[in-house]
A and B are shown apart, each in its own frame.
Chain A
């Protein structure tokens, strides 16, 4: 009778998690920076989290091209359809709550509960703007009682490509709060994410990419504000700027914008927790078109 060797339980090696690469979001794709550069991103406590793409001036120009290409299609959609897609973004974010909450907690150094509340507010912000898509025109536009036999109607239209500097201190809720209104009214956007905490922006880009949002409507760059802001603010094919996150550069960027008379939303006192931003961030990014037509037989 042969000896039976004692059974040794096989050693299961610990599984090594797959880490994510955080890339830019341009024209519906996720490229690295054309410059081949990245920069380390740390948590609010200084722990290394990941390397984010360090976008270049060329990436800014590529993003503007993508945004311009997307503009006719996006602004030509019905307002109802845009609203449906914005609501879809809310649905996609809701499905990725845990990921957003982890990133917000790491970036802002807040408790898990607080991070959840921030994610909820960000999801609800998309719902709020989804509702605005087919309504802001009814509030901002209307018939004008001119004194003559004329039909006279004013309607808001999107201004075009908008450069958006996201607020550095609120990398998810602030980011959504500045991006959503710009695209709600039919503009396309080139957004520079929070330099210190860019990871929620990249995760948002991944949600946008699965939300039926056409490629190029929202383009998200990560990198150095000081490097990216001047070429974006001075770009002749950009129609408006949201300087909310421009910090000390705001005045310089506003001066650059003057070259092509870009519409400028200056940094203000924003309370991202306010659930009802209303039209305050839509109004700056629409043009009013007034149509006259004679009445008579």
Chain B
């Protein structure tokens, strides 16, 4: 059947004005860094520089913590919860008002499709502030009263959902009366800096939110700061373990949201077309730069052939390219370093004997790109079945019985997410109750809500973000 080609439908970037250079946001103002080091953030879709930001040094981090401590003691923690909440409501409203601008900025800096930033990231960011705003005066009703905030939270977030991860960190911390020093990822600092402007626009008291940009050294200085009462980190399991070691003995509270190798289990009675959609969104959503991605497809042997045929047909229809095009499904890989990691693991898949397949998919000449890829013939010993690839690469394994599915799904040091596809509710619940994973999606995948706790078992980290449980992470009982 002949299909019509799509005309280009680019979202205009004129809604965004990016300054050539950004300072740090400390104590309510943009201040010049004491460190001379600068970082250039590029558009991963064309490798063009977008802006230069400061790389905060230890003296800068020190200044941010001092501001956060002052704000905590003098302004924020004494403020009644209802009034704290009203600041968060304001922030939520400004995010809603500036949603399109922030979506375009996020797509430029991160490389993810505008369809996702516009329809997923930004609505969830606003919702996260809205939800937590409402908790600020109700903590006692959540069984958390009389609730006492911890103090200053050191927060380090990743590049895959820059503004959403900021929201997941900042909203609960502020709602519960803490102040924050936040470091956005080295490759995606721009929406965090736009958020700093939003804090100003909302007249948030100075020092409640401090944003220090930088790379690994800045991150280490933030999480190792002795005045941090709480450390919250989202990122790789390797760095999470380093932080857990560093925090040991300090008495600082710690939550970690780390890597994953999520199993997406498809039983033979599943609604196949829906399952195919779920598998696609499970691994290709956000180019697979998702800690809870369904990166291991476990399909019941009796339907494997049919399912894979339909999956390939569906993947052939995915559109890879300009992140700002409204019809783009798969955008750019966030950085050259990440692209190298994906290539290295994909090569290991081939080398270890698995069979890779990608649709015919021309890649743009400039920028960082990787085609959607499916590996079959994967065994549990293969690196692509064990290691987090954090890219658009799906590893397919098969099973015969539910017990085997569960055993394979749990055969990983990670435990963040899993999916179960079946029309039989009792089997879904049986499977879900045996999966060692913090989030189990049934007949859907990669859905998020501020009311729903998110976080992992095992080496995917500890603590939960979102929901009633997410508040606990920022309170003394």
A residues whose Cβ falls under 8 Å from a Cβ of B? 79-80, 83-84, 87, 124, 127-128, 130-135, 138-139, 151, 275-276, 278-279, 293-297
Contacts and interface: CB of A to CB of B under 8 A. Distances in A.
B82 A127 contact: yes
Interface in B149-190: none
A138 B451 contact: yes
Interface string B123-153: 0000100110111111011100000000000
Given A138-B467, A297-B426, A297-B427, A127 B86 contact: yes
Nearest to A79: B451
B233 interface: no
Interface of B: 80, 82, 85-86, 89, 127, 130-131, 133-138, 140-142, 402, 425-427, 429-431, 433, 451, 467-468
A80 B141 contact: no
A29 B84 CA distance: 36
Nearest 10 A/B pairs, CB to CB: A131-B134, A295-B429, A294-B426, A296-B426, A297-B430, A297-B402, A151-B429, A297-B427, A295-B430, A138-B468
A132 B426 contact: no
Given A135-B134, A295-B430, A128 B141 contact: no
B82 A135 contact: no
A209 B242 CA distance: 56
22 contacts: A80-B451, A83-B130, A84-B130, A87-B89, A87-B130, A124-B82, A127-B85, A131-B85, A131-B133, A131-B138, A133-B134, A134-B131, A135-B135, A135-B138, A135-B142, A135-B451, A139-B142, A293-B426, A294-B425, A296-B426, A296-B430, A297-B402
- Which of B80, B133, B141 has the most chain A CB atoms inside 10 A of its CB? B141
A35 to B, nearest CB: 42
Contacts of A128: 82, 137
Contact of B137 (A87, A276, A279): A276
Contacts of B138: 131-132, 135, 276, 278
B433 A279 contact: no
Contacts of A139: 141-142, 468
B275 to A, nearest CB: 18
B47 to A, nearest CB: 39
A17 B89 CA distance: 37
A134 B141 contact: no
A252 to B, nearest CB: 34
A84 B95 CA distance: 14
A134 B467 CA distance: 10
